[in-house]
């Protein structure tokens, strides 16, 4: 069986500075997830349109705790939109979303957005609550989980297993020893079993490092990776026999003026990368087949899947990396 490529999108809303300023509110799903500005949609609808142009399917890791942010009933329609467009919906949790609801209710709460910082029982409780909401909205229970900030650990995988989920995609080696809290220090791309849970790593690669400017490694995130880098790394991982996983966010294709998501205009650099990548993936689908996490779970259950992990590779052209970093610096500015 050929290794696959997994297009994943984390669907979530920013806190919008609300933790530090009581006059501010978290960002609503209308903006953070759908990217609705002046009757146009630069978030999930635009992502889905680009995928549809190339007949590609993706896995959307959906954060379900927006009721707790003050937007009751506004996440379920997002879930239905994704299902209606034929995509895969799985579970994504930023604990601070749930904690914000406790804070607004005057109840005790832990001040952390890292799943792995919470006791195992609390992690399990959040995953079960989140999975219940996804199941209620989608009509089927999720099979996969991704922690916000990639802030999971082996303890998190125990909670994932006890909640009855088969897959996790929180590990990425560029964030090890930082926000990714796995004690396992092996750096890898591909997939690896941790007990009953298969960890499907968000892919990453090593790059030229410039102190204070460019880090020594980079996750395969199209907001921070050029098309040529992404294509090269996917090819290297798959040709080595492992699965490649790339990431976008629901807000990746648009820029905003400030922390409250005022304004809103297309991020043409990232849109261009995503369009080029989808076109290339569609043209090479027989060589690098696109799969979803639900399809992966079925393959495992039918015993037709053997995971493989490989050592991370390096991108060989430092000029491309430096140029990409320069373009990103310019692209941070917001123009009307």
Q: Which of 42-46, 137-141, 258-262, 326-330 has the lowest mean pLDDT?
A: 326-330
Burial of 99 (0-12, 13-18, 19+ CB in 10 A): buried
Average pLDDT of the chain to the nearest whole number: 95
Closest CA to 146 of 9, 292, 308: 9
Q: Indicate if the pLDDT at residue 164 is higher than 70.
A: yes
Neighbours of 81 (CB within 10 A): 17
Q: State the average pLDDT over residues 315-329.
A: 86
pLDDT reported for residue 212: 73
Q: Which of 149-158, 206-215, 298-307, 313-322 has the lowest mean pLDDT?
A: 206-215
Residues 245, 220 contacting (CB under 8 angstroms): yes
Give the tens place of pLDDT for each residue, 120-130.
999 999 999 99
Q: Is the pLDDT of residue 92 over 60?
A: yes
Q: How confident is the model at residue 292 (pLDDT cuts 50, 70, 90)?
A: very high
Whether residue 70 is predicted with pLDDT greater than 80 in this model: the reply is yes
Give the per-residue pLDDT at 336: 52
pLDDT tens-digit series, residues 2-17: 999 999 999 999 999 9
Mean per-residue pLDDT, 239-243: 97
Annotated domain spans of the chain: 5-331
Q: Compute the average pLDDT of residues 129-140.
A: 96
Phi/psi at 327 (5° precision): -65, -40
Q: Check pLDDT > 80 for residue 334.
A: no
Q: Which of 252, 184, 264 is nearest to 220 (CA)?
A: 252
User: Which pLDDT belongs to residue 265?
Assistant: 94
The per-residue pLDDT for 178 is 94
| Rounded distance between C-alpha atoms, residue 5 and residue 77, angstroms | 27
Give, in words, the CATH class of 5-331. alpha beta
- C-alpha to C-alpha distances, 297 to 79, 138, 165, 194, 197, nearest whole angstrom: 20, 17, 10, 15, 11
Report helix, strand or coil for 266: strand
What confidence score (pLDDT) does residue 221 get?
97
- pLDDT tens digits for range 295-308: 999 999 998 899 99
Rounded percentage of the chain residues whose pLDDT exceeds 90: 89
What is the predicted pLDDT for the residue at 112? Answer: 95
How confident is the model at residue 335, as a pLDDT?
64
Q: Would you tell me how many other CB atoms lie within 10 Å of the CB of residue 206?
A: 18
* Beta-bridge partner residues of 221: 247
Distance between CA 213 and CA 228 in Å, rounded?
20
* DSSP letter for each residue of 87-121: -EEEEEE-HHHHHHHHHHTT--------GGGS-HH
Question: Does the structure show a pLDDT above 90 at 81?
Answer: yes
For residue 61, what are its two tokens?
A: 């890791």
**Average pLDDT value for residue range 236-263:** 97
pLDDT at 269 over 60: yes
State the burial class of residue 74 (Cβ atoms within 10 Å of its Cβ: 0-12, 13-18, 19+): middle
**Mean local confidence (pLDDT), 26-53:** 98
Nearest alpha-carbon partner for 36 in 89, 96, 77: 77
Distance separating alpha carbons of residues 240 and 310, to the nearest angstrom: 7
Structure tokens that stand for 250 in this block: 């629901």
Average pLDDT on 150-170 reads 98
Largest Cα span, the chain:
54
What is the band of 323 on the pLDDT scale with cuts at 50, 70, 90? confident
């Amino acid at each position: 069986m050929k290794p696959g490529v997994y297009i994943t999108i984390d669907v979530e809303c920013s806190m919008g500075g609300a933790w530090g300023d009581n006059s501010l509110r978290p960002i609503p799903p209308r903006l953070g997830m759908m990217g609705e500005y002046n009757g146009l949609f630069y978030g999930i609808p635009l992502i889905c349109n680009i995928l549809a142009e190339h007949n590609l399917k993706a896995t959307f890791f959906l954060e379900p705790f927006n009721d707790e942010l003050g937007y009751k009933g506004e996440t379920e329609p997002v879930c239905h939109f994704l299902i209606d467009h034929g995509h895969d919906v799985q579970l994504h949790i930023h604990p601070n979303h749930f904690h914000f609801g406790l804070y607004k209710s005057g109840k005790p709460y832990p001040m952390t957005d890292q799943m792995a910082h919470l006791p195992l029982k609390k992690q399990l409780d959040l995953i079960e609550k989140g999975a219940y909401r996804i199941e209620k909205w989608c009509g089927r229970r999720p099979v996969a989980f991704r922690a916000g900030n990639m802030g999971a650990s082996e303890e998190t995988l125990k909670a994932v297993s006890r909640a009855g989920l088969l897959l996790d995609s929180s590990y990425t080696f560029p964030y090890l020893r930082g926000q990714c809290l796995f004690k396992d220090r092996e750096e890898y791309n591909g997939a690896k079993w941790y007990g009953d849970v298969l960890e499907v790593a968000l892919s990453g690669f090593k790059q030229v490092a410039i102190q204070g400017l460019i880090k020594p490694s980079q996750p395969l995130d199209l907001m921070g990776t050029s098309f040529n880098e992404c294509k090269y790394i996917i090819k290297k991982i798959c040709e080595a026999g492992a699965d490649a996983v790339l990431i976008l966010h629901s807000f990746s294709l648009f820029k905003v003026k400030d922390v409250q998501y005022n304004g809103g205009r297309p991020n043409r650099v990232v849109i261009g990368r995503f369009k080029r990548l989808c076109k290339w993936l569609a043209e090479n689908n027989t060589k690098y087949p696109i799969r979803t996490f639900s399809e992966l779970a079925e393959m495992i259950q039918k015993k037709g899947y053997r995971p493989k992990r490989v050592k991370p590779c390096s991108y060989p052209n430092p000029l491309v990396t430096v140029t990409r970093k320069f373009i990103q610096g310019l692209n941070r500015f917001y123009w009307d």
